[in-house]
Amino acid sequence: MTLQQQVSLQSFNTFGIDAQADYFTAAHSLTEAIEALQWAKAHQQPVLILGGGSNVLLMQDVRGLVLQVSLKGIERLAEDEDTVRLRVGAGEPWHPFVLHCVAQNWGGIENLSLIPGTVGAAPIQNIGAYGVEIKEVLESVEVLDCQDFSLHTFSNAACAFGYRDSIFKQTAQGKYLITAVTFVLQKKPVLHLTYGAIQQTLEAMQVTHPTIQDVSRAVCHIRSTKLPNPQEIGNAGSFFKNPEIDLAHYEQLKTVFPAMPSYAVANPAKVKVPAGWLIEQAGWKGVRQGNVGVHKDQALVLVNYGGAQGSEIVALASQVQAAVRAKFEIDLTPEINYI
Ligand SMILES: Cc1cc2nc3c(=O)[nH]c(=O)nc-3n(C[C@H](O)[C@H](O)[C@H](O)COP(=O)(O)OP(=O)(O)OC[C@H]3O[C@@H](n4cnc5c(N)ncnc54)[C@H](O)[C@@H]3O)c2cc1C
């Protein structure tokens, strides 16, 4: 284990916040992960587990040990005519893993192309995009208990997946280090084209019989034109979840705001409303306050124009939440993890 002291985390979080970690190490194997956790326990240091840092907001310097998960490897466990089972190290970067599968014509995650971060963090908030969530292809999650270093496997059902949610954000929060994820992908893929602008983009690309490669390319094209690139401007993607509100509340709002968009959800008594639309209507799209702001094209994305402290983002987020609450009586919940 290589332990560094007083390490800037600026290049380890996509917001580009320059917080310091007391100690930092990267675990490339299970042995290194256990060694790091044992060291932290022996020295009574708190541990922050980090993947690609694309879903965290560092509010201040991080006390204790930052443990970056870098366990690699894509292992083909089984295969038949229809499916392939893959066990993937938690530290594999997500998008290159998607491209690897797309190139083999293994379908199921092509709509999740170009999402930043690692494979190990993907189950934590059940990553989703363009009508697909990781829970649809995930078989199990392998974890290391951070206290007693025992190994466990969570089945898909045990992960209690929900919208941008899982047991790892609820009762199991902070208890486990995810070491590997097993997926079942389809060799005769079923395409999901109805969500967002995928169909239109495929038409513009003059694709009449799309493959998963085409879908992945279309998703990458949409995302790179729509979302700010963290390498150019610090951000963590969608800052808030799209709120689910009671149908009665929605119908009452609709009389005042007839253009208010909505999506049906599994529970017929609820409706999902796009948080970006609410923020824009509350007058916050494009607003800049010093080093931070609400992106000019994507109201759901808060940005660091450079040199921001995490506390500036927190203050901006609170004002946005208050404005949406005042106008719509809707509470926005952050999607990202405040550290
Ligand atoms: C431009 C942009 C676009 C995005 N688009 C989407 C999108 O379309 N859909 C979507 O769902 N998300 C999206 N995200 C959010 C983000 O990419 C995902 O949440 C991603 O899964 C985070 O991975 P990460 O490795 O960066 O996690 P990190 O930010 O490093 O960590 C996130 C949380 O998981 C914990 N954690 C990380 N790895 C492990 C591990 N191995 N074991 C235990 N705990 C761990 C951390 O402690 C932290 O609490 C976007 C982000 C950005 C910047």
Residue 8 designated active-site: no
The residue from 164, 166, 216, 312 that is catalytic is 164
Which residue has a Cα nearest atom 1 of ligand 1? 237
Residues 185 and 238 placed together within one structural domain of the fold: no
CB atoms under 10 Å from CB of 42, counted, come to 8
**Quick check: CB of 141 below 6 Å from ligand 1?**
no
Question: Tokens 């998008």 identify what position?
Answer: 95
Which of 286, 306, 283 has the alpha carbon at shortest distance from 297? 286
The H or E element containing residue 278 is helix 275-281
Distance in Å, CA 118 to ligand 1 centroid = 7
Instruction: For residue 187, give the 3-state DSSP assignment.
Output: coil
Q: Are residues 249 and 220 in the same domain?
A: no
Give the CATH number for residue 252: 3.90.78.10
Residues 321 and 216 placed together within one structural domain of the fold? no
pLDDT value at 100 more than 80: yes
Q: Do residues 293 and 246 both lie within one domain?
A: yes
Find the mean pLDDT for residues 210-227.
96
* Structural domain span for residue 296: 234-338
Average pLDDT in the 39-51 region? 97
* Backbone phi and psi for residue 275, each to the nearest 5 degrees, phi listed first: -60, -35
90 and 165 housed in the same domain? yes
Q: End of a domain among 170, 198, 226? A: 226
How would DSSP label each residue in 296-320? SS-TT-EEE-SS--HHHHHHHHHHH
DSSP letter at 190? P
Percent residues over pLDDT 70 in the chain: 100
Q: Are residues 23 and 85 in the same domain?
A: no
Distance from the CA of 253 to the center of ligand 1, in angstroms?
A: 33
Average pLDDT, stretch 112-122? 98
What does the pLDDT look like over 156-178, one tens digit per residue?
999 999 999 999 999 999 999 99
Average pLDDT, the chain: 97
Q: Is the CB of 37 under 6 A from ligand 1?
A: no
* Number of residues that this document lists for the chain: 339
Write down the pLDDT at residue 175.
97
Q: What 3-state class would DSSP assign to 198?
A: helix
| Judgement on whether residues 78 and 222 belong to the same structural domain of the protein | yes
Specify the pLDDT at position 254.
96
What does the pLDDT read at residue 195?
84
- Count of the separate structural domains present in the chain: 3
Domain co-membership, 317 together with 255: yes
| The predicted structure's pLDDT at residue 50 | 98
Joined together, the tokens standing for residue 174 give 């902070």
Interatomic CA distance for residues 23 and 250, integer angstroms? 48
| Pair 47, 67: CB distance under 8 Å | yes
Number of H helices, E strands in the chain: 7, 20
- Report the pLDDT value the prediction gives residue 1, as an integer from 0 to 100: 86
Final residue in a domain of this structure, among 176, 197, 226: 226
Q: Residue 250 above 90 pLDDT?
A: yes
108 burial (CB, 10 Å; 0-12 / 13-18 / 19+) is buried
> Is 223 known to be catalytic?
no
Q: Is 255 exposed, middle or buried (0-12, 13-18, 19+ CB in 10 A)?
A: exposed
309-324 mean pLDDT:
97
Residues 253 and 326 in one domain: yes
List the CATH number of the domain containing 56.
3.30.43.10
Q: Is 299 in the pocket of ligand 1 (CB under 6 A)?
A: no
Question: pLDDT at residue 196 above 80?
Answer: no
CB 91 within 8 A of CB 69: yes
Mean pLDDT of 93-115: 98
Q: Which of 47, 54, 94, 109 to probe ligand 1 with, by most ligand atoms within 8 A of CB?
A: 54
Q: Which pLDDT score is estimated for 266?
A: 87
Cα 21 to Cα 36, 228, 291: the distances in Å are 15, 27, 22
pLDDT at 245 over 90: yes
> H or E segment at 42?
helix 30-42
**Could you confirm whether 335 is annotated as catalytic?**
yes
Based on the fold, state whether residues 84 and 189 are members of the same structural domain: yes
